[in-house]
Amino acid sequence: MIKLRLKRFGKKKEASFRIVACNSTSRRDGRPLQELGFYNPRTKETRLDTEALRTRLTQGAQPTDVVRTLLEKGGLLEKIERPSIAIGKAKLEKEKLAKAKTKDEENDSNEAES
């Protein structure tokens, strides 16, 4: 399967990334099938080869999560709603509190009946 992912390059502690199409079993910095763009996280600079990306996506290439967000920002993919981890944790805590309250209420009602 072809993956669209980031290939790291640059100096130590000053990483930049190339957006590449490569086989899913190949190494992160291995030889790619095609270079499709560039991303610098420090300056937020992004360059995308839109034609090549569109052809790879129509051929069935699967982008990684980070590349997907870059493509969404570039307008090549539609934004999809993904649940946030922080929201999920907050929701779980609310559910735990709600369960604890219902258990307390049940215990209080059982004691009142006895």
What DSSP string runs through the chain? -EEEEEEEEEETTEEEEEEEEEETTS-TTS--SEEEEEEETTTTEEEE-HHHHHHHHHTT-EE-HHHHHHHHHHTSS-------HHHHHHHHHHHHHHHHHHHHHHHHHHHHH-
User: Could you read off the pLDDT tens digit of each residue along the chain, which spans 114 residues?
Assistant: 889 999 998 999 899 999 999 988 888 778 888 999 999 999 999 999 999 999 999 999 999 999 999 999 888 888 877 666 666 677 778 888 888 888 777 776 666 665
What CATH number was assigned to the domain covering residues 2-74? Answer: 3.30.1320.10
pLDDT of the residue at 93: 82
Domain boundaries, the chain: 2-74, 89-114
- This model's pTM is above 0.75: no
- Between CA 32 and CA 4 the distance in angstroms is 10
14: its two tokens: 């000053």
pLDDT of the residue at 77: 83
